[in-house]
């Protein structure tokens, strides 16, 4: 009996633990709210001329900064790891807040993505640096924008404009770094699945399931 216990601890338990952590499955049944009731976007113009709102959408929200073109690799990472899988859901959008004056750079990024992706759910909106700073401040995030009014991180905002993330024992996971593909493939993808599951479960409960989510 003791021999079996020793064998289990030495060989079986480590394998089980490895499979658990390697699976990347989020233990949350509901993704916690980090900042409730965030503001909607202002009457900022968008790249395609259409009004962009966070209401009624699961939004991946980003801040490009003035060096949008230089950091275009971050958008390609996000596109490959998250957008490609979920852009067909009409209640999902990817919104990037950009400084006024970067419209041409944003168009180049969209055109590059359009070569191999349906870019309908990519939305680029433009505001002044002061407006961008003010908007970011009301999200009440620990990390601030850099001196270019941007950040490599993106954030998940639900349909009621609550910023969602992980509340860990020692820290809070507010956003996901697009510079690191592994973080997108593991932590963000995991959390994004959780929030979409929330809405699917709610629709099923109300007997109102649709192809939206």
State the Cα–Cα distance between residues 184 and 177, nearest whole angstrom.
7
Structural Rg of the chain based on CA atoms? 19
| 50 φ, ψ (degrees, to nearest 5) | -95, 145
Q: Which of 63, 59, 34, 55 is CA-nearest to residue 163?
A: 34
Residue 27: what pLDDT?
A: 46
Q: pLDDT by residue (tens digit) across 41-50?
A: 989 999 999 9
Domains located in the chain, CATH noted: 33-211 (3.40.30.10)
Q: pLDDT by residue (tens digit) across 22-61?
A: 344 444 468 999 999 999 998 999 999 999 999 999 999 9
Placement of tokens 């633990």 in the chain: 17
State the Cα–Cα distance between residues 159 and 211, nearest whole angstrom.
16
Stated pTM of the model: 0.82
């Amino acid at each position: 009996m003791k021999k079996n216990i020793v064998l289990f601890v030495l060989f079986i338990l480590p394998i089980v633990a490895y499979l658990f952590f390697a699976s990347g499955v989020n233990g949350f049944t509901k993704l916690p709210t980090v900042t409730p009731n965030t503001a909607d976007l202002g009457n900022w113009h968008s790249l395609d001329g259409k009004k962009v709102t966070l209401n009624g959408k699961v939004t991946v929200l980003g801040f490009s900064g003035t060096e949008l073109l230089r950091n275009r690799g971050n958008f390609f990472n996000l596109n490959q790891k998250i957008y490609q899988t979920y852009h067909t859901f009409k209640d999902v959008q990817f919104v990037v807040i950009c400084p006024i004056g970067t419209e041409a750079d944003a168009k180049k990024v969209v055109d590059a993505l359009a070569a191999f992706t349906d870019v309908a759910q990519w939305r680029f909106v433009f505001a002044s640096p002061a407006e961008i700073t003010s908007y970011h401040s009301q999200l009440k995030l620990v990390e601030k924008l850099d001196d270019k009014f941007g950040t490599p991180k993106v954030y998940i905002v639900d349909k009621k404009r609550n910023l969602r993330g992980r509340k860990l024992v020692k820290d809070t996971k507010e956003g996901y770094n697009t510079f690191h593909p592994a973080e997108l493939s593991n932590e963000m993808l995991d959390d994004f699945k959780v929030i979409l599951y929330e809405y699917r479960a709610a629709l099923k409960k109300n007997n109102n399931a649709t192809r939206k989510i």
